[in-house]
Structure 1
Amino acid sequence: MAELAALEDPKVRAVNERHGDDHGVNLTRLRAVAKRQGTQHEFAGQLWATGDTAARLVAILISRPKAYTAGELHTMLRDAHAPKVHAWLVNYIVKKSPHVEELRVAWFADPDPVIASAGWALTSDRVAKAPDGLNLSELLDLIESQMKDAPDRLQWAMNECLATIGIHHPEHRARAIGIGERLEVLKDYPTPPNCTSPYAPIWITEIVRRQTLA
């Protein structure tokens, strides 16, 4: 904790706070701290219990994903208030868990939009990697009816799922692009040079173009 405190940078914190995150440690330096620790699952639990965002990010990196129970992951997600902690927990732990499908289904239908956003993120991953058993038409129906008015984090996750369907499933591509054009979600999102816009019609078209050229 003292080492993480020493790495605190007010400029990094100011940038992170604009995105809802309450830590000021450069992520490259934070990853170096975690790498030096190696996998230490019990220590990860102690770091998580501090409630400190930087400590929790290290905890995620030194955890053993398959060692968590579904109940532990559910509790951790509900306690993961910082967006970066939420995203890393889903991407680095839950996606590698043997309980991922159980949690995806439970979170997808959760009334809390932050929890539901994790369910949608896991659904996007399955749309891309293991779509058998998913009803993509029904997912598009939900996106079309709910995404426009969804809270920010849920809206972002639903938009990612929309783009993922359009990119990976040509039979649904025209409809996915059409939904994006009608809803105009993230159409005006500021996008740095050399980055792809998160606006689904542009996102889908650009990634498909790159795949065609590859």
Structure 2
Amino acid sequence: MTDTTVAEVLAELAALEDPKIREVNEKHGDEHGVNLGKLRALAKRLKTRQELARELWGTGDAAARLLATLICRPKAFERAELDAMVREARVPKVHDWLVNYVVKKSPHAEELRLAWTADPDPVVASAGWALTTERVVKQPEGLDLEGLLDVIEAELKDAPDRLQWAMNSCLAQIGIGHAGHRARAIGIGERLEVLKDYPTPPNCTSPFAPVWIAEMVRRQDAG
């Protein structure tokens, strides 16, 4: 499929459209109706295609943008390009895939993390916090964890939904991975009660930080 055009890919995505999937997705703000397994199969067939990925992103179509994150070459994007893409990505699933599959693999990730975390746009700021959480888990050296907890304690309760979710994830991962900060992280969670009543399916861990931390630490100790 080396000569595949954007029009051909869009036609294939349109053929995969399922109204029932769209109906479910739209309840979460995700305006697409493509089965993600089939989308990934299409990406596997296309392989890495950076220019096609750029063109698909440029269509603004949610399914096309999801596909673009799977077939692009993350390290090929300039910092300014990624910044613009995150500001355009208002569909939650597109935003998540862009941050997780593209930005986290970029050589510009740390610069963008620092720039985005304090951005006045809460969706952009949530991307910054997602990158911070990634560092808390994988490369905490040099991070001011106490300073992060100070910000979370002050701002988590009143943060807009997506930013709140990202900051809460950071709070939980600090508590899970850093025993010296665990008591404070749990205490912040207990006082603020953010996501305490979040509906959690059976066999899933609650996103309420004190419960999340306790469960993951239990698993670490058991393993």
Verify same fold: TM over 0.5: yes
Q: What is the match of residue 100 of structure 2?
A: 91
Q: What is the match of residue 71 of structure 2?
A: 62
Q: Which runs of 5+ in 2 are unaligned?
A: 1-9
Q: What is the match of residue 114 of structure 2?
A: 105
Question: What is the CA–CA distance in structure 1 between the aligned matches of 2:191 and 2:164, rounded to whole Å?
Answer: 15
Q: What is the match of residue 186 of structure 1?
A: 195
Q: Deviations over 1:43-63 (max 9, x none)?
A: 101111110000000011000
CA RMSD of aligned residues (A): 0.6
Q: Which runs of 5+ in 1 are unaligned?
A: none
Deviation at 1:139, TM superposition (A): 0.6
Equivalent residue of 2:156, what SS? helix
Counterpart of 2:41 (choices 29, 32, 35) is: 32
- TM-score when normalising by structure 2: 0.95
Deviation at 1:18, TM superposition (A): 1.0
Q: Deviations over 1:57-99 (max 9, x none)?
A: 0011000000001010001011111011111000000100001
Deviation at 1:10, TM superposition (A): 1.2
Question: What is the CA–CA distance in structure 2 between the aligned matches of 1:139 and 1:118, rounded to whole Å?
Answer: 15
* Residue 21 (structure 2) pairs with residue 9 (structure 1): no
Deviation at 1:109, TM superposition (A): 1.1
Deviation at 1:132, TM superposition (A): 1.2
Question: What is the CA–CA distance in structure 2 between the aligned matches of 1:153 and 1:47, rounded to whole Å?
Answer: 25
Question: What is the CA–CA distance in structure 2 between the aligned matches of 1:11 and 1:184, rounded to whole Å?
Answer: 35
Question: What is the CA–CA distance in structure 1 between the aligned matches of 2:172 and 2:218, rounded to whole Å?
Answer: 14
Q: Deviations over 1:171-211 (max 9, x none)?
A: 00011011101111001111111111100001000011111
- TM-score when normalising by structure 1: 0.99
Equivalent residue of 1:148, what SS? coil
Q: Quick one: percent identity of the two aligned structures?
A: 72
Deviation at 1:35, TM superposition (A): 0.7
Q: What is the match of residue 163 of structure 1?
A: 172
In the alignment of these two chains, the number of paired residues is 214
Counterpart of 1:173 (choices 156, 165, 182) is: 182
